[in-house]
Structure 1
């Protein structure tokens, strides 16, 4: 497969509401949309980097720079017979996982379209639908969180994830349990906001029957998480600490966690995501697909990877309408049944790009052509 052209678009659109985590708050979505072109077909990828380097070191601006200066030239340097080769091609570039994932995902979509098969099947998935959950940000009051939980349970979401931080943690979890009972599939996401000095808070959370506590300690830690996991009944899930299959292997050998959140952008693409999935499946460790407030293209990639058998916990890929008045795909990502997303059966990601919408929210655009 000889990639003829790559297009980058920086797009920006307001979100329907303020979304707060321990990193800060988001009120608009800015992302890089990538398209790769060959033989009259286009494949699409979406960067999951934020506009500020608070989740990891990448931003939308660094993603654009690395794509333009390094990754696109590498992609033009050879023909691709299978998308797995893209990760190998990008290996000399250290980290910059979200930039790599955006371009690699677009190649996967294009390759699947050329084969005439859904991206999910190209990856080896066999599911026809996936269960999904929803993520609730930090709110000014516990009562507002309870209202969100009530609404999302009524919409059938299969897992409730609540963001926590020091001072907004035990009370909110306790209140959810009192209001809705122990049967609600509930987890807490700390986004690295705690240290081992907060072990008493973690032990208090341990009594509420949570599915997991996600990334309570430092973003680059697997040592202290192992110490904490030994003190808790609740499984710890690692997110920010896992970037490669080697990170996952070491964390599992140290018993730093009992669950891993696989984010395609964080680990550098669909091929690395599948490798981490395969390792966890072999070790009997459940995985799930986390979200980065993606728009429709990124959500479509999440749906595809979640079709793999090891994804047994509902992910964060809720309906587009949760975050955006209008998405960039046709159709928008919507629930096919309460708490369920159908896996598209069309070629590639299975969604068309809403080109008029994309043009309207584009703030920067560049085209790169393969040198002759």
Structure 2
């Protein structure tokens, strides 16, 4: 039975793109076993809550299962799962019901300076072993680049991520003529009716992202999509992630796990969730650059395939604490 004797929290400044922050939680039990968790892009109140409230709830308290530690904080929940599974010597993927040993990966390509440059980048990824490519599109950067990619690669499995940026249904109907597998996040999250209307008119599967079972139920009721984009870091707990997975799978939806942000721990949890039986579409852990991860081995794809760590307990990755401390902006320990 775990009993946490020490809580450490680290705020990291990640040096890619527009500099962003991630928050790590380290739990140490009385036997010296540790568990790690991560919250990507955490709200400012998370830091204060961990320091002022959760530390007192966690330190010296016996608990039998991560579900009995209802903190509502993804980083703490992940750390509890990591600690609990390490103590039992089982991989996190196995503990939550995962069945896959490896995953097909998609690679995500952001908008480019030119159509020619985008096609060149697609070529690089195809040569690197990817058979599935997701292209980020926006109004004004959509039909022309997708047409060019499809002409260059007629057999490539292709998806687009619209970033919730569209309001015009006709633009998306035009994209559907290029043999897309999935149209991700076309409209604003709350606009379930537009999602349902689009799904009714296109051959591609519409994919929606939900951060709670209630949001997912709204989409399921209206049959507003056929794919759930499952981002574990958006849920308060891994058990809630599993419940969303089970609901979508029971409805006959495909599921794509996504979560490439942060310093590596959140990615590792994404891979564990993607090993669940209902996660039928390629996993997306392709961004940001690998050199910003603090875990070993790094989490990523090799020739379009992601290995699920089933020989190591917990998240299956160790922390490079030297690299961690180089990125720390501030920290505290209780």
TM bucket, shorter chain = over 0.9
Name 1:31's counterpart in structure 2.
Answer: 22
Equivalent in the alignment of 2:221: 253
Contact 1:32 1:60 in 2 (8 A): no
Shift of 1:228: 2.4
Other-structure match for 1:5:
6
- Residue 185 (1) aligns with residue 162 (2): no
Tell me the equivalent position of 2:186: 216
Alpha-carbon contact 2:290-2:298 (below 8 Å) kept: no
Give the C-alpha shift of residue 114 in structure 1. Answer: 0.6
Deviation at 1:326, TM superposition (A): 4.8
The equivalent residue for 1:351 is: 317
Secondary structure (helix, strand or coil) at the match of 2:19 reads strand
Which ranges in structure 2 are unaligned for 5 or more consecutive residues? none
Deviation of 1:224 after TM superposition, in Å, equals 2.4
1:229 matched to 2:199: yes
Q: Secondary structure of the residue that 1:325 maps to in structure 2? A: helix
Alignment-derived partner of residue 79 in structure 1 = 62
Pick which of 302-311 and 288-297 moved more.
288-297
Q: Which residue is 1:204 aligned to?
A: 174
* Higher alpha-carbon deviation: 26-35 or 201-210: 26-35
Q: 1:292 offset after TM fit, Å?
A: 4.1
**Residues 264-275 of structure 1 mapped to structure 2, 5 A cutoff:** 264-275=232-243
Structure 1 residues without counterparts, runs of 5 or longer: 16-25, 50-58, 92-99
Distance 1:155 1:165, change over 3 A: same
> Aligned-residue CA RMSD in angstroms?
1.9
Provide the C-alpha distance between the structure 1 equivalents of 2:214 and 2:105, rounded to a whole number of angstroms.
28
The superposition leaves residues 46-105 of structure 1 with CA deviations (integer Å, 9 ceiling, x where unpaired) of 1122xxxxxxxxx4534323433444444459532111233xx246xxxxxxxx211111
Could you report, residue by residue, the CA deviation over 1:144-179 in whole angstroms, capped at 9, with x for unpaired residues? 222221111111124211111111111111111011
Q: Does 1:146 align with 2:119?
A: yes
Q: Which residue of 2 aligns with 1:340?
A: 305
Q: Distance in 2 between matches of 1:172 and 1:207?
A: 13
Q: Are the equivalent residues in 1 in contact too, given 2:260–2:267 (CA < 8 A)?
A: no
1:120 to 2:107 alignment? no
Alpha-carbon distance in structure 1 between the residues aligned to 2:85 and 2:298: 20
Is residue 8–residue 34 contact of structure 1 (8 Å, CA) maintained in 2?
yes
Question: Aligned pair in 2 of structure 1 residues 364, 315: CA closer, same or farther (>3 Å)?
Answer: same
| Mapped contact 1:132–1:339 kept (Cα < 8 A) | yes
